[in-house]
Amino acid sequence: MKTKVFNYLLAILTVAAFAAAIVLRQDSTFDLALLADYKGMLVQGFFNAILYSVIVLIGSLIVGFIMYIMVKSNWGYFRSLADVLTEIIYGTPLLVLIVIMAYVIGPAFGTHNRTAMGLLAMTVYMAPYMTNVYKAAISSISEAQYMAMKLFGFTSYQKYRYLIIPQVVRQLMPPMMNNFSLIIKGSALLSVINRFEIFYVIKVAQSKTFAFLEGYIVLWILYLVITLPLSQLTKYIERRYGV
């Protein structure tokens, strides 16, 4: 345990030293104060990034589950439909999907709420990945386990409550959290359609202050502030509840 902590400290120091060396080798000086005027907007953008990501996470969990039911359906039509949608989504860059959704598909249904359509695009984009998460989690319960449940005489409710759902949730957690991380990073692309997205705020600030590199550095740090704790949490959950 002690050596592990030590190794981690050493690794972090290495990275920090590397970062310091890079900073010292810069010709231009960084002035993060240039961005001070935009602090309020940045904070708002930061929280928006989290909010949007949570919405997409929940949405894609729901849509992904619907697609899972389609994949497992007895009706070939639903299986084929899920397959076709998945292939299209896999073949589409997220940025393209967001733009098409906001400017083509949305208006076709009479909506010009680009933010909503952008979030929908991300939701749809992530759904097949969530479907895979469900597939893996649910198939981890073996035939033999179902047989045991039946033999010991659990009722349907008890099976789900004490045996199936707890196992599925445990299996679901780590890959779901990884997807959440992908969503957070992907949310930067919403800046093409949304003015309150953090990446958009940075772009505006950059163009006004010419603090081009500073903008990216701040953005980078803000994303790390979200994703690093998240991945630690994921690891913790995996250790604590992993099967």
Catalog residues that contact another protein under the rule CB under 8 A: 142, 144-145, 147-148, 150-154, 158, 162-163, 166-167, 170, 241, 243
Q: How far apart are CA 204 and CA 112, in angstroms?
A: 23
C-beta of 53 vs 171, nearer to another protein: 171
C-beta of 6 vs 162, nearer to another protein: 162
Q: How far apart are CA 76 and CA 104, in angstroms?
A: 30
State in angstroms the smallest separation of the CB of 158 from another protein. Answer: 5
State in angstroms the smallest separation of the CB of 170 from another protein. Answer: 6
State in angstroms the smallest separation of the CB of 242 from another protein. Answer: 9
State in angstroms the smallest separation of the CB of 156 from another protein. Answer: 12
Residue 65 CB contacts under 8 Å (≥ 6 apart), including other chains: 130, 131, 134
CA 125, 127, 128, 129 dihedral sign is positive
C-beta of 170 vs 203, nearer to another protein: 170
Query: Cα–chain-centroid distance for residue 16?
Result: 27
C-beta of 24 vs 151, nearer to another protein: 151
Q: How far apart are CA 137 and CA 173, in angstroms?
A: 9
